[in-house]
Structure formats: C-alpha cells, structure tokens
Amino acid sequence: MKRSSLHLSKRLEEVGFSDIVQIRNKVMALRAAGEMIYGFHGGEPFFTTPIPIKYGMMQALVEDKTRYAPSSGLEPLREAIAHKLQTFNHMHVGADRVLLTVGGSHALYASFQCVLDPGDDVLLFSPYWTPIRELIIGAQGRPLLVPTVSARNHGITEALERYATPQTRAIYYNTPQNPNGIVFTRQDAEEVAAFAIKRDLIVIADEAYEDLVYEGEHFSIATLPGMAERTLTSYTLSKTFSMTGLRVGYVVAQEPWMTGLRKIILYSTNGVSTPTQWAALEAMRMPREALTERLEEYRKRRDLLVQGLNSVGLECIAPAGAFYVFPRSTKIHKDSRKAADILLDKSHVASIPGVAFGAQGEGHLRFSYSVPMETIEAGIAALKTFLC
Ligand SMILES: Cc1ncc(COP(=O)(O)O)c(C=O)c1O
C-alpha cells in the first residue's frame, strides 16, 4: 500500500531529540509542583548579561537600528571579531573571513551542511555535545565515535586511524569539551591536524568554551600550518558573555567554505537580528579583565563541586575547562539514565545521564557548576543524606 504523504522527509525522521530536553521538562514539572530541585543539569552561565551589552541592544532599538543588516553580519562587528581572532586566537584573518550566525549551534549546522555529502563519515570524539550527532545525521552523514579518554591515553593518531573509513570526510574537534571539560593541548591539536592533512579531511572546530580554561591554554587548531584552508571554526557569545538567549555566534573559514556558509546563512536565517548584533559589538568591546574575574568565580564553583562530589563517593577529577564535571555514576547505578532518575527522585538533584553524550559517556553523570555557590552546598548536603 502506498504510504501517505503526511510524513517527514527521511532525512529528518532519522534526526532525534536529546535526553537533555526531557530532563529539563521533568525538572520544570517538579518545580511547578512546588518541589525544591537542585539543578545541575543546565548548560548556561549563571551570571546575568553584562550591562553594556544590554544597553547596546536598547540603544539600537531606540535609534531604530531594526532593519535588515547584511546577512553576513554588520561590518564593525565583523571587524571587532577579526581583531579578537588575531589577538586572542592568533589567527591571521580579516573581517572577510568572519560570518555572524544565530549562536554557535547555527554556525555548526551551517558548517556540516557545507562540508558533508550523503554517505560521508565524520569522526567525533565521544562523549560529545549531543546535538552534533543529529547535525551530522541531518546532513546525511554518519558519525563515527572515537573514545576520547582512550585516544588521549593511548594515542590520538592511532585512535583516528582505527575509526576512520574510506568515506571519512571530516573531524569534529571541540575544545574545551562539553560534557567532560577536557581541554585538548597544542600537541593533541597537532596530532589531529597531521591526521586531517594526511587523509585530506576537513576539521569542524567548536570553541564555544574558549574563555573557560582553568589549567593549560586554549589553542585554536586552525592556526597550525596547512589547517586554515581545511578548518571551519565556530564560536558563540552565549557562554563567555552570558548571552544564551540573544542567539549570536560566528564562524571563521576560507573559500570555498565561505561561499557555502553564506548561502546557508542567507537561506536559513538571513542573518542575526540587527539589535542583537549591536549588543554583540558591545560584548566584543568589553575589556578581557572582566572575563578573568568571571573565570575565577567558575573556578571556585568547580573546586567546591568536585570536592563535594568526591566526598559522597561520586568520583571525579577537576576538569581543565568549560563548566561541567563528569563524575562516575556507578555508586548509584551503572546505567546512567537510572542513576540520574534515582538522584532526582531521592535527593532532588538534577543531572544529565552521561549516555546522553554517547556510549562512551555511560557510567557517568554530567553536573554543571555554572550555578550559585549555595546550590552547590545545598545539593551536596542533599546527596550526603542520600548516599552517605
Ligand atoms: C560544545 C558546544 N558547542 C556549541 C554550543 C552552542 O551554543 P549556542 O548555540 O548557545 O551558541 C554549545 C552550547 O551548549 C556547546 O556546549
């Protein structure tokens, strides 16, 4: 019998929703029912958006800067971003290599759409930020999971060799990493770059947490010799400037990617909202010292949470970057979905099951420490009552 036409395109039927949304909904329902929940499940900065950024947007509105901006982004904003890329990331780029996007998510969506053909494979260090798998599948590619921890312990090149196929076209390279806070070193980047060059692969780099590095340094893979032409790097203002809801990010690349990215941006969003871009310009003008102060606040929270989780038997190390801790769940349950459910039911502590970030995340939970210190203290006290 002929199938009715009332179904999604095959491409989209294969794309899933993430567990994270379901957990967020459950927490919202519990809170709405009057329950006190210690929420470590989120993925956004707890700081409010800095005042100059908010005034930047208000001023743009008052001055009627509400019309279409160029879909690539406002020129002064692209210039300011290029300056930041030169001074902070050590990239030799001008504004002509920068395109504004609706957050880092859109930069990544556009990058995968630009690079992948149906049937292409993408190497993906796992555990990984959940939407990446779906972005690859949505571009009709196939994700190939490379276990991050064993790759770092036993050799990144060997691991990439082992999982690559003749159809491999790209590597997704995220540092600092969500969900485990790993910061890839310059040496790690050199290995990935050498592999990409040898196999003629494209690197889709994701540096969303570049400003949240506590140990070591952030290193942009696109700066290595031979990499600028084969790397599309995505950034976001969401995490650094507490602008998650404003939805602004950018992507940096060379031709032919720039032409492809421009097409995707033009036909998906036709650019970022104009007042948001003026707000983003204020963000780019903020002194970097303000970011250092925030980093210290995050570090305090990281240390408190790591110490607290270890004290209740949820073993973890202090991650070098981002704002997540990735402790073992095995003391509660080896199935991380069950472990997260048990913690939420018994101690009202909300976390994300590690398996949501790929098979290699199983046996772990993700806790965000981008929360008030009091939440960490109260959450650990609740865990102690339940676990100790
Ligand atoms: C690793 C990683 N990349 C990119 C993003 C994109 O963030 P946004 O779309 O808010 O800019 C996130 C957000 O959680 C992330 O964790």
pLDDT digits (tens, 9 = 90+) for 72-123: 999 999 999 999 999 999 999 999 999 999 999 999 999 999 999 999 999 9
Helix (H) or strand (E) holding 345, with range, is helix 336-347
pLDDT band at 2 (very low <50, low <70, confident <90, very high): confident
Ligand 1 within 6 A of 336 CB? no
How does the average pLDDT of the chain come out, rounded? 96
Q: What pLDDT is recorded for position 368?
A: 98
C-alpha to C-alpha distance for 354 and 110, rounded to whole angstroms:
27
> Given the DSSP bridges, would you call strands 168-174 and 121-126 parallel, antiparallel or unpaired?
parallel
C-alpha to C-alpha distance for 65 and 327, rounded to whole angstroms:
47
Ligand 1 within 6 A of 18 CB? no
CA 103 to ligand 1 center in whole angstroms = 7
Please, which contacts does 79-87 make with residues 24 or more away whose CB atoms are closer than 8 Å? 80/281, 80/284, 80/285, 81/250, 81/284, 83/284, 84/284, 85/252
- Tell me the per-residue pLDDT of 130-178, one tens digit each, with 9 for 90 and over: 999 999 999 999 999 999 999 999 999 999 999 999 999 999 999 999 9
CA 300 to ligand 1 center in whole angstroms = 23
Ligand 1 within 6 A of 210 CB? no
Q: How far is CA 227 from CA 165, 205, 224, in A?
A: 21, 11, 6
Q: What pLDDT is recorded for position 288?
A: 85
Query: Which of 211, 218, 239 most suits a substitution to test ligand 1, by most atoms within 8 Å of the C-beta?
Result: 239
> Which protein residue has the closest C-alpha to ligand 1 atom 14?
43
Q: CB count, 10 Å around CB of 367? A: 29
| pLDDT mean over 253-277 | 98
Ligand 1 within 6 A of 244 CB? yes
Ligand 1 within 6 A of 214 CB? no
In the predicted structure, residue 21 carries a pLDDT above the cut 90: no
Collapsed DSSP state (helix, strand, coil) of residue 251: strand
Angle of helix 75-87 relative to helix 274-285, nearest 10 degrees, comes to 30
C-alpha to C-alpha distance for 310 and 367, rounded to whole angstroms:
13
In the predicted structure, residue 315 carries a pLDDT above the cut 90: yes
Note the pTM of the prediction, 2 decimals: 0.96
Q: How far is CA 328 from CA 151, 361, 363, 384, in A?
A: 19, 9, 6, 16
- Tell me the per-residue pLDDT of 188-199, one tens digit each, with 9 for 90 and over: 999 999 999 999
Q: What pLDDT is recorded for position 86?
A: 98
Domain with CATH 3.40.640.10 in the chain: 52-285
CA 2 to ligand 1 center in whole angstroms = 41
Ligand 1 within 6 A of 242 CB? no
Ligand 1 within 6 A of 206 CB? yes
Ligand 1 within 6 A of 104 CB? yes
CA 6 to ligand 1 center in whole angstroms = 33
Q: What pLDDT is recorded for position 165?
A: 98
Ligand 1 within 6 A of 236 CB? yes
Query: Which of 49, 206, 210, 235 most suits a substitution to test ligand 1, by most atoms within 8 Å of the C-beta?
Result: 206
Q: Domain spanning 10-48+289-387 has what CATH number?
A: 3.90.1150.10
C-alpha to C-alpha distance for 44 and 189, rounded to whole angstroms:
26
pLDDT band at 16 (very low <50, low <70, confident <90, very high): confident
Under a CB-based contact definition with an 8 Å cutoff, are residues 233 and 220 in contact? yes
Collapsed DSSP state (helix, strand, coil) of residue 39: strand
pLDDT band at 362 (very low <50, low <70, confident <90, very high): very high
Angle of helix 156-163 relative to helix 186-199, nearest 10 degrees, comes to 30
Nearest atom within ligand 1 for CA of residue 248: 11
- Tell me the per-residue pLDDT of 334-356, one tens digit each, with 9 for 90 and over: 999 999 999 999 999 999 999 99
- Tell me the per-residue pLDDT of 205-259, one tens digit each, with 9 for 90 and over: 999 999 999 999 999 999 999 999 999 999 999 999 999 999 999 999 999 999 9
CA 180 to ligand 1 center in whole angstroms = 14
| pLDDT mean over 123-131 | 97
Given 3.40.640.10, 3.50.50.60, 3.20.20.80, 3.90.1150.10, which CATH number is that of 52-285?
3.40.640.10
In the predicted structure, residue 20 carries a pLDDT above the cut 90: no
C-alpha to C-alpha distance for 261 and 340, rounded to whole angstroms:
38
* Alpha carbon 196 to its chain's center: 21
Domain with CATH 3.90.1150.10 in the chain: 10-48+289-387
CA 98 to ligand 1 center in whole angstroms = 18
> Given the DSSP bridges, would you call strands 365-368 and 324-325 parallel, antiparallel or unpaired?
antiparallel
* Alpha carbon 167 to its chain's center: 26
In the predicted structure, residue 19 carries a pLDDT above the cut 80: no
In the predicted structure, residue 365 carries a pLDDT above the cut 90: yes
Q: What pLDDT is recorded for position 289?
A: 85
C-alpha to C-alpha distance for 378 and 27, rounded to whole angstroms:
17
List CB contacts of 342: < 8 A, sequence separation 6 or more.
332, 333
Task: Respond yes or no on whether the N-terminal peptide bond of residue 131 is cis (omega within 30° of 0).
Answer: no
Q: Is the dihedral of CA 200, 192, 18, 235 positive or negative?
A: negative
108 secondary structure, DSSP code: H
C-alpha to C-alpha distance for 359 and 379, rounded to whole angstroms:
27
Closest alpha carbon to 108 in 232, 262, 5: 232
C-alpha to C-alpha distance for 356 and 323, rounded to whole angstroms:
17
Q: How many helices (H) and strands (E) does the chain have?
A: 14, 12
pLDDT band at 290 (very low <50, low <70, confident <90, very high): confident
